[in-house]
Amino acid sequence: MAHPDKHIPTDAARQDSGATQGPKFQKKLTDILSSAAEVIAERGFQGASVREVAARGGVGLSGIYYYFKSKDEMLFAIQRNTFTALIAMLQEKLAGVTNPETGLRLVVENHLGYFLNHPQELKVCFHELDSLSGDYYQRVLSLRREYYDLVRSALARFGKSDEHTTSLNTLFLFGSLNWVNMWYDPSERNDSQNVIERLVDLYLRGITGATQISN
């Protein structure tokens, strides 16, 4: 009881994005999360040791626990930040868009564009969905659903399929999108636009049944 008040790590699980903490704290927290995404993408969540995350983040082992309550919370923070960003960016891009083809193109560009800039984070989100449990899992699940609904409603604008088929097409599209990080090498980023075009073409024809490519 000699100590005034035990430090409670800022609870990255809360949505208070930095109001209570200085920018220096937020910067370090972001650095650690970036390192964590790196290590988890490489070794998997269970295989990623907190010690290595700490080393790459330039902190001591116990320093990690000043910023996060647990290893689980780090994974949760990565997934929450990523899905929140994906949703916000997509909502902004889709605002006011009515043309279905444009909507599909924006969906693909948004998702693959984010993958090009944050390959580790996206890999973690798509690869470690089941590594969380309890409250963390549920909250990420609801974000995933929100993102799914956004994409689904974009595909629904084509009006060419019944509801169930639209749902299936959405899931097929997510498969194609997420599988990209299994084979695409970002070092040769010359043909990234081509990948986007071919994927849009494929689903455009697949959904509408016509060859009405514009550009």
The one of a second copy, DNA, none whose footprint includes residue 211, by CB under 5 to 8 A per kind, is: a second copy
Q: How far is CA 28 from CA 25, 140, 147, 201, in A?
A: 5, 23, 28, 42
Considering beta carbons, is residue 52 or 121 the nearer one to DNA? 52
Which of 98, 117, 211, 214 lies at the binding interface for a second copy (CB under 8 A)? 211
- Whose CA is closest to 106, among 8, 3, 203? 203
What distance in Å separates the CA atoms of residue 204 and residue 185, rounded to the nearest whole number? Answer: 25
- The pattern of x and - marking residues 17 through 46 that bind DNA according to CB under 7 A reads ----xx-xx--x------------------
The one of DNA, a second copy, none whose footprint includes residue 65, by CB under 5 to 8 A per kind, is: DNA
Q: What share of the chain is helix, strand, coil (3-state, %, to 5)?
A: 70, 0, 30
Considering beta carbons, is residue 95 or 182 the nearer one to a second copy? 182
> Considering the rule CB under 7 A, would residue 137 count as an interface residue with DNA?
no
Look at the alpha carbons of 33, 136, 19, 65 in this order and tell me if their dihedral is positive or negative: negative
> Considering the rule CB under 7 A, would residue 14 count as an interface residue with DNA?
no
The one of a second copy, DNA, none whose footprint includes residue 28, by CB under 5 to 8 A per kind, is: DNA
- Core vs surface per residue 146-160: b (16+ CB within 10 A) or e: ebeebbbebbbbbee
Considering beta carbons, is residue 11 or 42 the nearer one to a second copy? 42
DSSP character at residue 59: -
Question: Restricting to residues 157-176, which ones interact with a second copy according to CB under 8 A?
Answer: 164-165, 168-169, 171-176
Q: Which residues bind DNA (CB under 7 A)?
A: 4, 7, 21-22, 24-25, 28, 48-52, 59-67, 69-72
